Amino acid sequence: MLLALENVSKKYGAEDHIYPLSFSLIPGTINVLLGTTRAGKTTLMRLMAGLDRPTTGHVIADGRDVTGVSVRHRDLAMVYQQFINYPSFTVFENIASPLRIKRVPEAEIKKRVHDMAERLHITPYLQRSPAELSGGQQQRTALARALIKDAGLLLLDEPLVNLDYKLREELRRELTELFSEGRTTVVYATTEPLEALQLGGHVAVLHEGRLLQSGPTVDVFNAPISIQAARTFSDPPINLMSASINGDGTAHLDGDLAIHLNPEQLQRASGHKQVRLGLRAHSLRLAARYPDDVAIDAQVDLSEISGSETYIHVHRGPIALVAQLPGVHDLEIGSHCSMYCRPGDLFLFAEDGALLFAPTHLPAGA
């Protein structure tokens, strides 16, 4: 399905939930809605589904204006973060329910339900009730019921958020494989930048009801159009540092800390004496690796060990930084260390937050 939003907005009373925005879903692929809580993701999905009518604007599906058309008359399916199954039905009947509504012949229902259950690894549970299933099995059942409709549009509102990490990773891989067939246009809402990158496809970055940026997911991650887009699409949040650019091509930060910018950075920053430097957490290291590495001497505020990674929080005067380091690093709070980065890994933003320069080669990850 080709679905487009044209100057769509939504108010509840006097409160704006969605400010006027326009964008089109890319058919046959995953379209990710990325944003923090209250960014407007669920409201936008409800407008796409026809559960709510926009305050202004139009919703166009395959060239037809469906603004105000009931969800019952839309070719779509939806799965919420709070998975919903019919408690009095078996797993088989839960999955079969959309087909029974369409009066599909019984033999076809049986075949399609078993095929879908096999794809989502819930065949052994078809005769159980939802109450007898684990959280992951219940979510698979809800997904199977949505997928079996073979709708032109599938809306997934943070469908994995209530599952544990291992189940989320497993189901995300399975969903990515299912969606790779390209038969359905998928909209997937998430608060997690890493999940957006793993899903791929296209992304719309939202903040407080506003569309900040949209495009191919990797392109948007590599070149966020503004500081707010970079903050939304970075976990940990992107490090930001105020700097002044002198005539010698050097960005001066706190005290005697200075970073020599490359010619392309200087060209993009031409006319801007004050800038904000952005540096993603994975671009910081505890040891020099390249000849042009810059050392930032700092004091350790916190060392968080998270599985195979460590998040080191440091400060140098008014500059606060977070480094995302592979491996385990147990740095003592209050101790001094040097963080290293390449000047070429720095983003440059204008004082109003607009992107001036984005690195052309970035390591993978969020």
What average pLDDT does range 258-266 have in this prediction?
Answer: 94
Q: Inter-axis angle of helices 165-179 and 135-147, to 10 degrees?
A: 20
Geometric angle at alpha carbon 38, from 205 and 153, rounded to 5°: 60
State pLDDT tens for residues 30-43: 999 999 999 999 99
State pLDDT tens for residues 283-293: 999 999 999 99
State pLDDT tens for residues 17-29: 999 999 999 988 8
Q: Assess if CATH 1.10.357.10 describes domain 239-357.
A: no
State pLDDT tens for residues 170-217: 888 878 877 777 678 999 999 999 999 999 899 999 999 999 999 999
CATH code linked to domain 3-232:
3.40.50.300
Residues 140 and 60: their CA atoms lie apart, in Å, by 30
Residues 125 and 103: their CA atoms lie apart, in Å, by 24
Could you tell me the pTM of the whole model? 0.90
Count of beta carbons in the 10 Å neighbourhood of residue 127: 10
Q: Looking at the predicted structure, is the pLDDT value of residue 242 above 90?
A: yes
Residues 40 and 189: their CA atoms lie apart, in Å, by 10
Residues 62 and 1: their CA atoms lie apart, in Å, by 6
Contact of 152 with 186, CB cutoff 8 Å: no
State pLDDT tens for residues 44-80: 999 999 999 999 999 999 999 999 898 888 889 998 8
Q: Looking at the predicted structure, is the pLDDT value of residue 159 above 70?
A: yes
Query: How many percent of the chain have pLDDT more than 90?
Result: 78
Residues 296 and 321: their CA atoms lie apart, in Å, by 10
Please report which residue ranges of the chain form alpha helices under DSSP H: 41-49, 91-101, 106-119, 135-147, 165-179, 193-199, 217-222, 227-232, 263-268
Locate the domains of the chain by residue range.
Answer: 3-232, 239-357
Amino acid at 122: I
Residues 165 and 197: their CA atoms lie apart, in Å, by 16
Contact of 125 with 137, CB cutoff 8 Å: yes
